[in-house]
Chain A
Amino acid sequence: MKGENHLSRLDESKLYDELSRSNLPATKRWYAGTGALLLVVLASVAAFVYMMFTGLGVTGLNRPVMWGVMIILFVFWVGLSHSGTLISAILRITRATWRAPVLRGAEAMTALALMVGGLYPLMHLGRNWRFYYILPYPSARQLWPNFRSPLLWDAVAITTYLTGSLLFLYFGMIPDLAIARDRAAGWRKKLYTFLAAGFRGTHEEWRRYHVASTLFAVIIIPVAVSVHSIVSWDFAMAMVPMWHSTIFAPYFVAGAIYSGIAGVISVMVILRKAFRLEKVLTPDHFDNLGKLLLTFTLVWGYFYFSDYLTAWYSRFPEDWEVIRSYSGHYLPLFSLLVACNFLIPFPMLCLKRVRQSIPAMFAVSLVVNVGMFTERVLIVVPSLARRNDPSIWGSYFPTWVEISFIVGSIAMFALIYVIFSKLFPVVAISDVKEQLFHTTDRTIGGANLSTVVSGEGKEEGRET
């Protein structure tokens, strides 16, 4: 039993081969899959170009529902992008010993989901070819954007977060790029040599790397929290019933982390399957991620309950009409939300058997994200459809153009993730190595444990 399930600890090149399977030369199947994704993305881009040249009339938007699928997708993808960096930063700071194989995939997910999400507020503009009016650039007319507008805060927050998470991703990758550089040939060698920035692995370099990565992790956490707070303020600052709520910022952050953890789990399951990482991503990792997800199921449920309880109890007529529409016109969506976000995941995640079963975790994580998408629909649409003036009440249903954006956003995310994992090491090789270095097998009683001595001298056990 000893050592069977472990990665090769001593043979470094074998370890590298095991962890960098994603970087093997592309096969025909890879090209076929990527091509299919590209086609879906192109179809979605074509729908966007059609919308741009015809007008937003091709969407289902109207008065009063002036924001629709594109804003929902923006909130959804920015939410998904949340956990990557946040989880990775928190795990780095708390020195969770199981973090190593999760880091890179999660960080990449942040940057790439943010790239997808950031497109939609620009696409949704009525005159998207004039999007740069929102930037504070020196204009001959001496016009400046309006810094009182939450949309401008949004633009600032998203660009800051995108820059920060890309740097965080790149910085954490430097030692791995150096390993890859030493083993690659051809154009890859050139690419990695450039990106590894001359990292040689000396003591001094490692010391600086550790200091900087801890600092980076500490700095990126407030940025991540602020970003989704600002996204929530797009809604909370407006005088729209049920949006105008003081709890929205922490509620959105909790929801974002919730959907993000679920997203990380889905991505990890796919990576594990696609690149045969069974030895690195063990059921224990999914157990731990499942516990995190369970925590956020409860946190999200708590925020949702307290937000709605106050609105329901005070019974202000404007808020009340929105709440009433949940049990009327929007009842199917509301039931889906409650089921997918709480009733299904909560009992499932309480069971260790579910948390340790990878197919079950995959299913739960998908269910949670279906629920989180529904949650965003229910935040954006009913509040607008039941605005203050009853004479203008309306409804909203997306057209084929907007549905193609939904499909296209998923395909786009998958496409850039596939390309990313083909180009870069998708498992944090040096972190895994570091962890293996600290791990020893011990026989305690009848059990065979792999134990990790962490930096503070604490010991954590894991059954094998």
Chain B
Amino acid sequence: MKRRWAMVIDMDLCTGCGACVAACVAENNTPTVGESEAGKGRLMQWIRVVRYFRKEEHDETRAIFVATPCMHCEKAPCEIVCPVYATYHDEDDHVNAMVYNRCIGTRYCGNNCPYSVRVFNWWDYKREKPLDEQLNPDLTVRSRGVMEKCSYCIQRIRRGKETALSEGRPIRDGEVLPACAQTCPPGAIRFGDLDDPESAVSRMMKDPRRFRLMEHLGTEPSTVYLKKMRAPGR
């Protein structure tokens, strides 16, 4: 059951609402760090919505939103530098997996990730009652001193594969969705299997607007973007 999971983010549809970030935080037990820590650059969110402003004609300023999760690179720079294999390539799902128990916190992966999507547990983040009740039981709460990052909601991928296996059928396109893709109100984030030529992401990969972030670095990201186009009415 080898899969090549990929994510397509349509920047034309993205409104920059940040619902993906909220969904990701809720799904993946990501701690909220508070204002002062966030100001120091210690946000723990696995996906960020970056805003770039551009001056258009008539002094109109427009924003471009770049939702940035982990790119799950096929040639991931983070993997080779980890001295203990805490982050490695999952060849079955073609994702960049993270073993929290193995991580010793050298933070080399965080330095070598050109997209800077890896975050580090600087503290033991406390969840006051009753907030601990909302933790997702499908995945761990990470301890202090380990790196973490977007996993393409690996727990959902695993569950989808198990369900499909028990029902004796292949996974249907759209059956497995990460929290961000499931939540995105305009449907800008699509997720699916590239090995399935009929899947939505496979079709969107043929879009001429397709590009990858920092393609010149040769990391071959699995997360691809569809460029924002300027046209009448947009």
Q: Do A and B bind each other?
A: yes
Q: Shortest 4 CB-CB distances between A and B: which pairs? A: A126-B105, A126-B145, A57-B122, A62-B41
Residues 387-402 (chain A) with a chain B CB within 8 angstroms: 387-389, 391-392, 394
Chain A residue nearest to B77 in the complex (CB): A239
Q: Let me know if A292 is at the binding interface, CB within 8 A.
A: no
Q: Are A155 and B83 in contact (CB under 8 A)?
A: yes
Chain A residues with Cβ under 8 A from B179's Cβ?
Answer: none
Contact with A along B74-94 (1 / 0, CB 8 A): 000100111111000000000
Q: Are A62 and B42 in contact (CB under 8 A)?
A: yes
Q: Let me know if A461 is at the binding interface, CB within 8 A.
A: no
Q: Looking at the complex, which one of A56, A64, A150, A237 makes contact with B145 (CB distance below 8 Å)? A: A56
Q: Looking at the complex, which one of A64, A131, A237 makes contact with B81 (CB distance below 8 Å)? A: A237
Chain A residue nearest to B214 in the complex (CB): A388
With A and B bound together, what is the CA distance between A146 and B108 in angstroms? Answer: 13
Q: Let me know if A419 is at the binding interface, CB within 8 A.
A: no
A and B contact pairs by CB, cutoff 8 A, 21 listed:
A54-B123, A55-B121, A56-B120, A56-B145, A57-B123, A63-B119, A125-B106, A126-B105, A133-B102, A145-B84, A146-B85, A149-B80, A149-B81, A150-B81, A151-B83, A234-B108, A239-B114, A388-B217, A389-B114, A391-B68, A392-B41
Q: How far is the CB of B201 from chain A (nearest CB, A)?
A: 24
With A and B bound together, what is the CA distance between A126 and B51 in angstroms? Answer: 31
Chain A residue nearest to B119 in the complex (CB): A63
Q: Are B111 and A152 in contact (CB under 8 A)?
A: no
Chain B residues with Cβ under 8 A from A61's Cβ?
Answer: 107, 122
Q: Looking at the complex, which one of B37, B110, B115, B146 makes contact with A388 (CB distance below 8 Å)? A: B115
Q: Let me know if A384 is at the binding interface, CB within 8 A.
A: yes
Q: Let me know if A312 is at the binding interface, CB within 8 A.
A: no
Q: Are B83 and A152 in contact (CB under 8 A)?
A: yes
Q: How far is the CB of B150 from chain A (nearest CB, A)?
A: 14
Q: Looking at the complex, which one of A55, A121, A124 makes contact with B122 (CB distance below 8 Å)? A: A55
Q: Known A126-B144, A134-B84, A149-B81; judge A238-B112 contact (CB<8 A).
A: yes
Q: Let me know if A24 is at the binding interface, CB within 8 A.
A: no
With A and B bound together, what is the CA distance between A242 and B70 in angstroms? Answer: 24
Q: Let me know if A67 is at the binding interface, CB within 8 A.
A: yes
Given contacts A128-B105, A145-B85, A392-B116, 6 further A-B contacts (CB under 8 A): A55-B144, A55-B145, A57-B123, A127-B143, A388-B114, A391-B52
Q: How far is the CB of A319 from chain B (nearest CB, A)?
A: 13
Q: Let me know if A130 is at the binding interface, CB within 8 A.
A: yes
Q: Looking at the complex, which one of B77, B115, B146 makes contact with A127 (CB distance below 8 Å)? A: B146
Residues 30-74 (chain A) with a chain B CB within 8 angstroms: 54-57, 60-67
Q: Let me know if B124 is at the binding interface, CB within 8 A.
A: yes
Q: Let me know if B104 is at the binding interface, CB within 8 A.
A: yes
Q: Are A127 and B111 in contact (CB under 8 A)?
A: no
Q: Known A57-B123, A131-B104; judge A394-B41 contact (CB<8 A).
A: yes
Chain A residues with Cβ under 8 A from B116's Cβ?
Answer: 63-64, 387-389, 392
Q: Are A391 and B77 in contact (CB under 8 A)?
A: no
How many inter-chain residue pairs (CB < 8 Å) link A and B?
137
With A and B bound together, what is the CA distance between A143 and B103 in angstroms? Answer: 13
Number of residues from B at the complex interface, CB < 8 A: 45
Chain B residues with Cβ under 8 A from A234's Cβ?
Answer: 108
With A and B bound together, what is the CA distance between A286 and B104 in angstroms? Answer: 45
Q: Are B107 and A66 in contact (CB under 8 A)?
A: yes
Number of residues from A at the complex interface, CB < 8 A: 44
Q: How far is the CB of A399 from chain B (nearest CB, A)?
A: 10
Q: Let me know if B206 is at the binding interface, CB within 8 A.
A: no
Q: Are B115 and A389 in contact (CB under 8 A)?
A: yes
Q: Which of A63, A148, A155, A388 has the most CB of B within 10 A?
A: A63
Q: Looking at the complex, which one of A54, A65, A143, A392 makes contact with B85 (CB distance below 8 Å)? A: A143
Q: Are B50 and A391 in contact (CB under 8 A)?
A: yes
Q: Which of A57, A62, A151, A388 has the most CB of B within 10 A?
A: A57
Q: Let me know if B48 is at the binding interface, CB within 8 A.
A: yes
Chain A residue nearest to B213 in the complex (CB): A389
Q: How far is the CB of A239 from chain B (nearest CB, A)?
A: 5
With A and B bound together, what is the CA distance between A64 and B118 in angstroms? Answer: 9
With A and B bound together, what is the CA distance between A83 and B94 in angstroms? Answer: 47
Q: Let me know if B58 is at the binding interface, CB within 8 A.
A: no
Q: Are A238 and B111 in contact (CB under 8 A)?
A: yes
Q: Are A133 and B80 in contact (CB under 8 A)?
A: no
Chain B residues with Cβ under 8 A from A66's Cβ?
Answer: 107, 110-111, 120
Q: Are A55 and B114 in contact (CB under 8 A)?
A: no
With A and B bound together, what is the CA distance between A146 and B83 in angstroms? Answer: 5
Q: Looking at the complex, which one of A64, A133, A238 makes contact with B108 (CB distance below 8 Å)? A: A238
Chain A residues with Cβ under 8 A from B43's Cβ?
Answer: 63
Chain B residues with Cβ under 8 A from A134's Cβ?
Answer: 83-84, 104
Q: Let me know if B40 is at the binding interface, CB within 8 A.
A: yes
Contact with B along A127-141 (1 / 0, CB 8 A): 110110110000000
Q: Let me know if A240 is at the binding interface, CB within 8 A.
A: yes
Q: Known A63-B120, A389-B115; judge A126-B81 contact (CB<8 A).
A: no
With A and B bound together, what is the CA distance between A98 and B122 in angstroms? Answer: 52
Chain B residue nearest to A243 in the complex (CB): B111
Chain B residue nearest to A132 in the complex (CB): B104
Q: How far is the CB of A155 from chain B (nearest CB, A)?
A: 7
With A and B bound together, what is the CA distance between A392 and B145 in angstroms? Answer: 21
Q: Are A62 and B40 in contact (CB under 8 A)?
A: yes
Q: How far is the CB of A140 from chain B (nearest CB, A)?
A: 14
Q: Looking at the complex, which one of A67, A127, A148 makes contact with B80 (CB distance below 8 Å)? A: A148
Q: How far is the CB of B47 from chain A (nearest CB, A)?
A: 13
Q: Looking at the complex, which one of B77, B124, B146 makes contact with A238 (CB distance below 8 Å)? A: B77
With A and B bound together, what is the CA distance between A148 and B114 in angstroms? Answer: 19
Chain B residues with Cβ under 8 A from A127's Cβ?
Answer: 103-105, 143-146
With A and B bound together, what is the CA distance between A234 and B83 in angstroms? Answer: 11
Chain B residue nearest to A391 in the complex (CB): B50
Chain B residues with Cβ under 8 A from A124's Cβ?
Answer: 106
Q: How far is the CB of B189 from chain A (nearest CB, A)?
A: 18
Q: How far is the CB of A227 from chain B (nearest CB, A)?
A: 17
Chain A residues with Cβ under 8 A from B145's Cβ?
Answer: 55-56, 125-128
Q: How far is the CB of A393 from chain B (nearest CB, A)?
A: 9
Q: Known A146-B82, A391-B50; judge A239-B112 contact (CB<8 A).
A: yes
Q: How far is the CB of A317 from chain B (nearest CB, A)?
A: 11
Q: Looking at the complex, which one of B37, B40, B120 makes contact with A126 (CB distance below 8 Å)? A: B120
Q: How far is the CB of B109 from chain A (nearest CB, A)?
A: 9
